[in-house]
A and B are shown apart, each in its own frame.
Chain A
Amino acid sequence: MASINEEKSESMSRQFVSFGLGDNVYGLDILMTESIERMSNITRVPKASKYVLGVINVRGDIIPVISLRNRLGIGEAKYSEDSRIIITSFDGFRVGVLVDRVINVFTAPERDIQSGEAIFQNGLNEHVSGIINQESGHVLILDLARVLDLGGSA
């Protein structure tokens, strides 16, 4: 991946949705996001993974919602006025991701994206595929496939 990124880096850039979770700022490739929803009633689904909060109704579609806090081991799901559910769509899967707050949408050239492997020791953080150094701070790019535990890499 890294070498390909470098080759194409001159012209390519990607867009991300950035959001806050605990003390960190994370980013999600905008191509994998469908919409951002406010909190609504979540219906619990029995026998689902611990980090699956349940399902919600998004304009007539039933969408599972996971708590990113639980998933990344930052603690239990927290609900506040700022809480948002980012509806992601990836490889036929549509899943809502509950985050503490959504910050903005930003564009970053490929060359500014540092591979996650370069920073974390041996897969220490399997959910982060890269890091971008923004003026306001660092943004951790989420590896959605890994976060959703779909196998493979996004």
Chain B
Amino acid sequence: MDSNTYITLFIEEAKEHIQILNDNLLKLETANENNEPLNEVFRAAHTLKGMAGTLGFEKITNIAHAMENVLDDIRNHKMEITGPTIDILLECTDAMEALVQDILELGGEGPRDIKKLLSKLNQSGDSFTNNASSRLDPGVLKLDEYQSNIINAGIHQGLIPYWVEITLRPTCLLKAARAYIVFQTLEKFGEIIKTLPQVQDIEEERFEDTFGMLLLTQEEETAIRRRLDLISELQSIKIDKLPYGLEGEGNAGSTDLSEATDSIRESTTVKQRIPQDRTRIQTRSIRVDTEKLDNLMNLVSELITIKNTLVDITEESTDPSIKESMEYLARITNGLHDAVTKVRMVPIEMVFSRFPRVVRDLSKNTKKEIVLDIVGAETEIDRTIIDEIGDPLIHLLRNAVDHGIETPDQRIKVGKDPVGRIELKAHHDGNNVVIIVEDDGHGINLKKIVNKALQKGLISDESVDNLEVQDIINLMFHPGFSTAGSISNISGRGVGMDVVKTKVESMGGTIDVTTQEGMGSRFTIRLPLTLSIIQALLVEVVGEIYAIPLNSIQEILDISVFMIKKFESQETIQYNGRLLPLVRLDEVLDANTTRKQQAQNMKVVVVKKGDRQFALSIGNLIGQQDIVIKTLGKYLSSIKMISGATILGDGRVALILDINHLI
């Protein structure tokens, strides 16, 4: 591994720990009683400090260190957890996140100024600066019987037990070497009975800046100090005479001893705890570059294609062993495909986890009280979708906070709980993932939308009366539409709902809105489980084969030409008691329409475009198939009605129709 690999690893892990910080700081804010979030935060800050320190990222190290101090005070009940404290700690988390981003983009920490932040932190935990080694936790420096005996024997001979605690300068590079010099020096005075952390840990540099030794000597404290003062890079030297009673079996002295050693214990125990936790979680998973996964997916796609080819070739064969082998091959490739797809799936929590923080900040900014309920964060979804869905969801959440939820006063006035509720839910539904953002605010103000649309000239005065609720809601998705009366810094960033819709649709998904005045609104996003393989209907249009994604097809009909009614130039058919426009695929596709005599019967698929339906006449139905989606490439990207292509069993290319852009 070169240092770049380390940095990549660092960035990945740092992001995780920053997420842990974010999550648990929020938990801390609400659940004071529970110590677990506090410990989590502490661990994360500590790990970050260690990782950043190793790679020489000073600013992150400093921030994490200062955070640790504050957290330590909280843990030792020297400080209360208050809103402002959490705010500052969150600010620190943000700063570290920004620094990590800098490292990612610039390769270094960048010129960000963290002094202000640090001094803020120091003020909030003003006690931490000089109390680093004055805490008490009984029973830490337990001496075993052997050690107690030595000390007792020593005291009988007139020797004095000292607790010597050395804090190295943070800038000290070779800490173990420095500690070694200290050992050497002390051993000239007498015997070192015990060290904290253990000698081995000190030798392997598994300690913070501070370590301690129990020295049994006949020298005076001043003499020891004088010698230690000669060693460079020592920040502070503390020498305490131990009030060690002769009668003590080690227990009597432990109270006082441990008072001086708590800070050391802290760092060592935390260090030990982390590896344990990590092994428990991580032994069953490994980190894999997504590029490798993509590559694997491509290979599996190739395999499916060649399998389809083989199926075609061997179709005529009557040899039962070939048939059997082909079936076996089909089963394996399908299994492999499922497995790879699953590997690429990650819990949607990866996106959701940052939202509690987002909502918290938003609610603070808007002075609204809001609870975010997340349900189904474990729902798995394709990695590629994860990367894309974050921004649209943030936009919806912003909208919910900004436009949906009322202020506490307003809510009380209408008899609602002053605390607003936003629900973020995810679940699987067949081959789709459904994500719902629901708020219990005042609902979408339809009148406002109509007025705005009139103002912007999106609709005409005459058409207003004919608008149905759904039509009005659809106006919201019109490019350039933003309902915020005044542009706030929360939702009015010039990104409209149309961007959300476009994004969702570009992933092959749909978005629906329901709203009820005074009760709230619900945005439902439906996305395919995976973007690379879909079920499609293969159809033949004048000798050309096209694929229509199955999720846009509602029904396949056999109709007689006599059922086609023509109004002016528009052909229509009756469907469920309503007229549907009939679109002839061969015409839309400019196919070679030297139409053979019209057949008496034709096949028609009913498809959905947004909330409109239309009937699409197709030539022959070939069948349903799992197809691997391939892009047409940059060169043909302007052709909207084709969303991609797939390779058929015989190696030919079939184009995939994008129903939304067909007409």
Contact = CB atoms under 8 A, between A and B. Distances in A.
A73 interface: no
A43 B635 contact: no
Contact of B654 (A43, A61, A63, A92): A43
Interface string A43-64: 1111110001011110011111
B302 interface: yes
A79 interface: no
Nearest to B657: A46
Contacts of B645: 43, 55, 62
Contact of A45 (B298, B632, B634): B632
B645 to A, nearest CB: 5
Nearest to A95: B635
Contact of B302 (A45, A60, A92, A93): A60
Contacts of B298: 60
Given A41-B651, A43-B652, A56-B653, A64 B635 contact: yes
B654 A64 contact: no
A46 B632 contact: no
B630 A61 contact: yes
Contacts of B641: 46-47
A80 to B, nearest CB: 21
A90 B654 CA distance: 25
B635 A148 contact: yes
B532 to A, nearest CB: 13
Interface string B631-656: 11111100101101101000111110
Nearest to B652: A41
Given A47-B590, A47-B639, A62 B633 contact: yes
A124 B320 CA distance: 66
B412 interface: no
Contacts of B652: 41, 43, 57
A94 B632 CA distance: 10
The interface centre, meaning the residue of B305, B636, B639, B641 with most chain A CB atoms within 10 A of its CB, is B636
Interface residues of A, number: 23
A148 B588 CA distance: 26
Contacts of B654: 43
B589 interface: yes
Contact of A55 (B588, B590, B636): B636
Contacts of B588: 46
A67 to B, nearest CB: 14
Contacts of A60: 298, 301-302, 305, 630, 647
B544 interface: yes
Residue with the highest number of chain A CB atoms closer than 10 Å, among B298, B305, B591, B645: B645
B651 A57 contact: yes
B39 to A, nearest CB: 49
A141 B450 CA distance: 59
B639 A48 contact: yes
A63 B642 CA distance: 14
Contact of B655 (A43, A56, A61, A94): A43
Interface string B272-307: 000000000000000000000000001001100100
Given A56-B653, A57-B651, A62-B630, A46 B590 contact: yes
Interface in B604-663: 630-636, 639, 641-642, 644-645, 647, 651-655
A138 to B, nearest CB: 29
A94 B630 CA distance: 14
Nearest to B299: A60
A40 B636 CA distance: 19
A54 B655 CA distance: 10
B636 to A, nearest CB: 5
A93 B633 CA distance: 7
Nearest to A148: B635
Main SS class of interface, A: strand
A94 B635 CA distance: 7
B632 A55 contact: yes
Interface residues of B, number: 27
Contact of A64 (B544, B589, B591, B636): B636
Contacts of A93: 633-635
A136 to B, nearest CB: 32
Contacts of B591: 46
A48 B544 contact: no
A53 to B, nearest CB: 12
Interface in B577-610: 588-591
A95 B633 CA distance: 9
Contact of A41 (B302, B653, B655): B653
Nearest to A47: B639
B653 A57 contact: yes
Interface-centre pick from B588, B635, B645, B653 (highest chain A CB count, 10 A): B635
Contacts of B632: 45, 55, 62, 64
Nearest to B639: A47
Contacts of B651: 40-41, 57
A3 B645 CA distance: 45
* Interface-centre pick from B302, B305, B642 (highest chain A CB count, 10 A): B642
Q: Indicate the member of B645, B651, B653 with the most A CB atoms within 10 Å.
A: B653
Given A41-B652, A43-B544, A45-B636, A62 B631 contact: yes
Given A55-B632, A92-B634, A93-B634, A44 B544 contact: yes
B614 to A, nearest CB: 18
B589 A46 contact: yes
A16 B185 CA distance: 76
B639 A45 contact: yes
A55 B644 CA distance: 11
Given A60-B302, A60-B305, A43 B633 contact: no
B587 to A, nearest CB: 10
Contacts of B639: 45-48
B653 A43 contact: yes
B649 to A, nearest CB: 12
Contacts of B636: 45, 48, 52, 55, 64
A15 B630 CA distance: 32
Nearest to B588: A46
Given A60-B647, A62-B630, A62-B645, A45 B655 contact: yes
A116 B655 CA distance: 39
A45 B635 contact: no
Contact of A46 (B302, B630, B642): B642
Interface string B429-445: 00000000000000000
A68 to B, nearest CB: 15
A45 B658 CA distance: 13
B216 to A, nearest CB: 74
B204 to A, nearest CB: 50
15 contacts: A40-B651, A43-B654, A45-B632, A45-B642, A46-B589, A46-B639, A46-B642, A48-B636, A60-B301, A60-B305, A62-B644, A62-B645, A64-B632, A93-B633, A95-B635
Q: Which 5 A-B pairs have the closest CB atoms?
A: A43-B653, A46-B589, A62-B645, A62-B630, A41-B652
Given A61-B630, A62-B633, 12 more contacts: A45-B642, A46-B655, A47-B641, A47-B642, A48-B639, A55-B632, A57-B652, A62-B632, A62-B645, A64-B635, A94-B635, A148-B635
